[in-house]
Amino acid sequence: MENELVGKYTMPGIGFGTLGNVGDAGSTLVEAALAEGYRYIDTSRYYGNEEAVGSALARSSVPRGDVWVTTKLLHPRTPPQPDLAFELEKSLRLLRTDYVDLLLIHWPNPEVSLEWALGAGPRNANRQPEAWSGLGPCVTICLDSPEL
């Protein structure tokens, strides 16, 4: 599968979505996707399968560094997540990895404009400084990078 250049980063052009794939069956499916050549795995806290994805990553013969992992936080149907650094650490534990390649806001609150939701991040930390405090360096690099 071909890779795509995004700024100075390279990521797989086609990913494997994991919505609806939980537990042992989800883990087996993700492991099979990796064996078939997928190198981009998309998960989310809302999907309830970060643990299954983490199990597949741990069992797979594909080195973690060869797999692009995206996860997401802040879905409007999940409880509030005021401490994103804590939530990211929880996702990392479930995924059995010490990093994700891409962390997304799953779905900004539909009652709040996208502009406001993005403005609440590091570029305008005075709005919700506690939410972004532990993510500052990585999020700021991603949001402010002229290469992206």
Do the domain assignments include residue 98? yes
47 is catalytic: yes
Total domains, the chain: 1
Residues 41, 18 contacting (CB under 8 angstroms): yes
Do the domain assignments include residue 140? no
Residue numbers of the domain that contains 101 = 3-109
Do the domain assignments include residue 37? yes
The enclosing domain of 59 has a CATH number of: 3.20.20.100
Q: What pLDDT is recorded for position 48? A: 92
Determine which one of 38, 40, 46, 47 is catalytic. Answer: 47
Q: What pLDDT is recorded for position 81? A: 60
3 state SS for the chain: CCEEEECCEEEECCCEECCCCCHHHHHHHHHHHHHCCCCEEECCCCCCCHHHHHHHHHHCCCCHHHCEEEEEECCCCCCCCCCHHHHHHHHHHHHCCCCCCEEEECCCCCCCCHHHHHHCCHHHCCCCHHHHHHHHHHHHHHHHCCCC
Q: Give the pLDDT confidence of 5-59 residue by residue, as tens digits.
A: 888 888 998 999 999 999 999 999 999 999 999 999 999 988 999 999 999 999 9
Q: Give the pLDDT confidence of 74-129 residue by residue, as tens digits.
A: 666 666 666 677 888 999 999 999 999 988 877 666 665 555 444 454 444 444 44
Mean predicted confidence (pLDDT) in 132-144 = 45
Do the domain assignments include residue 25? yes
Does 133 score more than 80 pLDDT? no
Q: What pLDDT is recorded for position 127? A: 44
Do the domain assignments include residue 49? yes
Higher pLDDT, 115 or 64: 64
Q: What pLDDT is recorded for position 104? A: 84
Do the domain assignments include residue 117? no
Do the domain assignments include residue 114? no
Do the domain assignments include residue 50? yes
Residues 101, 11 contacting (CB under 8 angstroms): yes
